[in-house]
Structure 1
Amino acid sequence: MSEQLKDKSMAFGEARYPDEPSTQDIIASDKVEAPKWVRSESYEYLGSEDISTDRYYDPEFSKKEYDNLWNRTWQFACREEHIPEPGDYYVYDIGRHSFIITRVAENDIRAYYNACLHRGTKLRASNTEGCTQEFKCTFHGWTWNLDGTLKQAVCPWDFPHVEEEKFSLPEAKVETLAGFVFINMDHDAPSLEDYLGPEFMDHINNWGLENRYIQCHVSKLIPANWKLTMEAFMEAYHVIETHPQVAVSNADANSQYDTYGEHVNRFISPLGVLSPHLKGQYTEQDILDQFTVGDASVLGDVDRTLKDGETARQRMADTMRSMFEQATNTDLSDVSDSELLDCFSYTLFPNTFVFPGISLPMVYRFRPDPKDHRMTIYEVFFLRPVPKEGERPDPAEPVYLDEFQSFTEAEGMDPGFGAILDQDTENLIMQQQGVEASAKPGLTLGNYQEIRVRHFEMAVDKYVSGQ
């Protein structure tokens, strides 16, 4: 057993990578100071017990999720830019449920259960969007107005028992935040603001995500349970083994982990800094030469020769500020070095990740495949700043990949970043098979680097138990 494992002098949850700067130490040395939301910390030790593995393959556990979790939580359904004008609609599915998200008026967005109240036919097909002034069933022609009221029942003489005022389309709760449209099937649920909590609300109000647009949208089937798939992106602990090509410029083991209330957690993973695992093996020039954030098309060909005393991190911050300003026609002079460089990842329970940084401006969404709870619909959205001049770009059309396709095949996806996502995908195939084959009935987690996984599964357990 290693000396580190033998050392029990620290209380559980207190250990950090020894003799290395923390994320906050790294950020504090930047030239352009980071804002308060970046310079904050919120870690809490949540225990060291194993996480049961049956949740990843037991169909009964999946049923409890549909019965108690998905119908009681706030979920990101679409962006407001998907439905900019009255009559625009977007279909969002979760399990057996399907919703038509539509803009009825400028400040009136609704989510209708996507089913005809006559014989149950879907009013709009899954994975579709468009514009309309009514929702008409293609089977028998029953029609609803944009505001959900019944417009027409064909042969009304045969339906004297149908009371028009009681046949409006049922709705889910809807709230908007920073350009996102969220829905909740539970009409007794807390407000979205209360659900996410004051700390996160303070953070997101600094990001201006309402002033971004979807530049790329890729959806892929992953042969693993939705929770396993999400958890693969909750820590940087796997970087040194899974993504060795980025470890030279990713301070993976220095990453910071935070939890906020019951429904939000995050990590900050500093970039442009050598992994502690590789200490002494590379110079600052090596770090700069091998730096990648999966966005080579934006970085382009730049001078990568460091001056005396210059760090790789500072050169990359300066370079990326200039390159992103030119590429997106935006002013980033007030944006901190950390926001330009580092990977900020927030989980919004149950199934959304928000990456508010400039270099990795992403949103992930994970949904169980309704046909197989051991499959996941995994989506990646890239949110770029809206240009200062000209019209707001339309959101990119989604690209659909099957489980055997590479992310590098998706139009609009940077090949370098697509290769990173492929590495994660390959791990997930083996992990799903492993948890089902294992004689050990639980997963053993690190107290700090995997705190997001534990925090997430605590919320899962709460909802599945009906609390």
Structure 2
Amino acid sequence: MDQEMMMSEDTITLRREPHPISGAIYEELGEGRVRVEDPAKGVSGIFNWDGAWIEGDLTHADYHFLRYIGGPNLPPGKDIFWTMLPAGDLNPLSALASMPGRGGGDAQRPKIIAPYVSDPGKETPEGVRSAAHYPMEFFLDNDRYKDRIPEVYKKSAPYPGGPKKVPVARFFEPKYHELEMEHIWGKVWQMACREDDIPEVGDHILYTIGSREFIVVRTAEDSFKAFPNACLHRGRRLCNHDGKKAAMFRCPYHGWSWDIQGALKEITCEWDFPGVREEVSRLPEAKVASWGGFVFINPDPDAISFEEYAGPEMLEHYAKMRMEDRYKHAHVGKVIRANWKLLMEAFLEAYHSIATHPQLLLAGGDLAETRYDVFGNWSRLGHVNTSGSSAQRGIVMSEQQALDSFRMAADINRQMMRVMVGDEVDQFSDAEMGEQTFNNLFPNFSPWGGWARIVYRFRPNGDNPNECLMEAMLLAPWPKDKPKPPSAKLRMLDPDDPWVRAEELGTLARIFDQDCGNVPDVHKGLKTKQPPYVIYSVYQESIIRAFHDKYEQMLGLSEGE
């Protein structure tokens, strides 16, 4: 993704852009209205930003481009690409001014307009790929720092199989939610919080999944525990809120208490409970693991270790990135009116970019050349390639152009990251410096790779299969020996708020508004869809196919059930 297209728009009062495919001019009129003029056809029309036609002889317009031009927007000065956002007192944007060709003149470069054509694809040793595809080996062989490339970067793992059909009922019928609670959420490793969210002994956070809730508490400098949030007497929640420096958890109902290690402290009027002490002497525990500065829990006492669950490829992929040392400078959540799987799927492929994020095409790329790999429970999307081609508009970079773009992205990030982490950047290859890989650990934990900062988490909203919780964190690289500022607290938006209310996310908020503009309508559409199944593609939706294969396996479903 080209960072230049996401630079600040402070000086623009009303937005105005050409459409990347039709060339029609979309111009903001204010009050949520957009004028669309197609000079080639000599027609124009006025629309609401949500797609409703108001007047004119042009009666159809691009829904997502209308939203991008006329919809809710970030405040002036906040429309910044998320990897460039200042974090604490570190401002990577300052590095760009000194780079050749990165000045204000570049902001005026022509937009790329080209009519839609079908991507013809091409045969490769791994199968059919986009016409814009270049082998991963091409970039790695031409990396200027080949000796720094981790071995896992050289691995390829396309998921086998053909198109997959999944019944629509899986996304809204309560029986599937009940099966998920038993066979998935009761048995998988799931991210509960960042270690920095509970920095001192006794600090605790409430982690909910469906109707279940756990107290996740720091019990020592490097130790954590997780307990079901229920008193062993009558089941009252022990904690109603996250907390600081607790010495014990005391039930507000009858006063029974346990220390933060889970050991019983007191049964009030214990004379009235003969023989009970041994049975309630310890709070039950979920398994707990720490990785990359995150705290994970697994309610299954027989679960394999987190390391075995994540797999060697995931552990190696992040090994040099010091995720544990990063600073959480943004954390935003929102209830979305759709099933959690549908929302997560919107972030497991780049296939939607040409329709959902048309503004990206103004800088060239439609992301059809994106790579997809599946390693056990961990999937990798976007690994070692470069954006800039638009095969669905007949624009395919030459080998030299692709290599130049690959190296330019590495140089830009290396310059910016030097401001943030100093000479540590000299440990990394071009592939690592340019990487903005979206990854997923089954079922719902999505930390991006490289320097991209983004972490997603998707969960059911209670026991309602028609709603879910989406959270996004931004984790900035941070100097090794510099104290981090306090970790950002979760800020929950109202369900009807646009994501751009969260200005701390930069332009990522605008991307989210487009993605989340689709998914509730997908959820509604599936309830009336005939035939009643969805179809996932061989390659571009292969990570979603892998997810549903694993889902069926864990729930004990046959294919298509």
Which of 231, 241, 245 aligns to 2:355? It is: 241
Q: 1:330 to 1:438 in 2, by over 3 A?
A: farther
AA matched with 1:245: Q
Aligned residue for 2:437, secondary structure, equals strand
Give me the whole-angstrom Cα distance separating, in 1, the residues matched to 2:432 and 2:313. Answer: 18
Counterpart selection for 1:174 from 288, 292, 307: 288
Q: Is the 8 A contact 1:23 1:255 kept in 2?
A: no
Alignment of 1:112-151 (within 5 A): 112-125=227-240, 128-151=242-265
Shift of the alpha carbon at 1:341? 3.0
1:275 to 381, 385, 390: 390
- The match for 1:15 among 122, 128, 132 is 128
Contact preservation (8 Å) 1:13, 1:447: no
Of 342, 349, 358, the match for 1:228:
342
Partner of 2:15: none
Residues 16 and 466 (structure 1), Cα distance of their counterparts in 2 relative to 1, 3 Å cut: closer
Tell whether 2:462 aligns with 1:378: no
Distance 1:446-1:28 versus aligned 2 partners, 3 A rule = farther
TM-score, normalised to structure 2, is: 0.72
Output the CA distance in 1 between the equivalents of 2:381 and 2:554: 24
Quick one: which of 176, 185, 194 aligns to 1:79? 194
Within 5 A, what are the aligned runs for 1:407-418? 407-414=499-506, 416-418=507-509
* 1:324 aligns with one of 407, 411, 417: 417
2: CA distance between counterparts of 1:56 and 1:242?
21
Cα-to-partner distance string for 1:209-249 (whole Å, 9 max, x where unaligned) = 11212111111111110111111111111111111222335
TM-score (norm 1): 0.86
Tell me how far apart the structure 1 counterparts of residues 264 and 129 of structure 2 sit (CA, whole Å): 61
CA distance in 1, matches of 2:356, 2:469: 22
Post-superposition offset of 1:36? 2.8
Q: Which one of 445, 455, 467 corresponds to residue 536 of structure 2?
A: 445
Choose 1 or 2 for highest CA Rg: 2
User: Hey, what's the Cα distance between the residues in 2 that align with 1:81 and 1:393?
Assistant: 10
Shift of the alpha carbon at 1:19?
6.0
User: 1:10 and 1:272, CA in 2 relative to 1: closer, same or farther beyond 3 A?
Assistant: closer
Stretches of structure 2 lacking an aligned partner (at least 5 in a row)? 1-116
Q: Please, which moves more after superposition, 208-217 or 78-87?
A: 78-87
Aligned to 1:463: 554
Q: 1:244 to 1:318 in 2, by over 3 A?
A: same
CA distance in structure 1 between the partners assigned to 2:448 and 2:439 by the alignment: 6
The RMSD of aligned alpha carbons is 2.9
8 Å CA contact 2:150–2:317 kept in 1: the answer is no
Q: Which residue of 2 aligns with 1:163?
A: 277
* Offset of residue 351 of structure 1: 1.1
- CA-CA distance at 1:39 after TM superposition: 2.9
AA aligned opposite 2:493: L
- Distance of aligned partners of 1:435 and 1:279 in 2 relative to their CA distance in 1, 3 Å threshold: same
- Separation of aligned partners in 2, 1:36 and 1:431: 39
Q: Which amino acid aligns with 1:398?
A: L
Q: Report how far residue 40 of structure 1 moved.
A: 2.1
Check conservation: 1:355, 1:362, Cα contact below 8 A: yes
Structure 1 pair 281–69 and aligned structure 2 pair: CA distance change class (3 A): closer
Q: 1:380 corresponds to which letter in structure 2? A: A
Question: Which amino acid in 2 is paired with 1:387?
Answer: P
Equivalent pairs, count: 437
- Structure 2 CA distance for partners of 1:148 and 1:19, relative to 1, 3 Å: closer
User: In the alignment, which residue of structure 2 is the partner of 1:367?
Assistant: 459
Residues 12 and 447 in structure 1, CA contact (< 8 A), matched pair in contact too: no
1:256 aligns with 2:347: no
Aligned to 2:309, the other structure's residue is in SS state helix
Q: Can you list the C-alpha shifts for 1:249-302, whole angstroms capped at 9, x where unaligned?
A: 5461111111112x1111125455233224449999xx9xxxxxxxxxxxxxxx
Amino acid aligned to 1:339: E
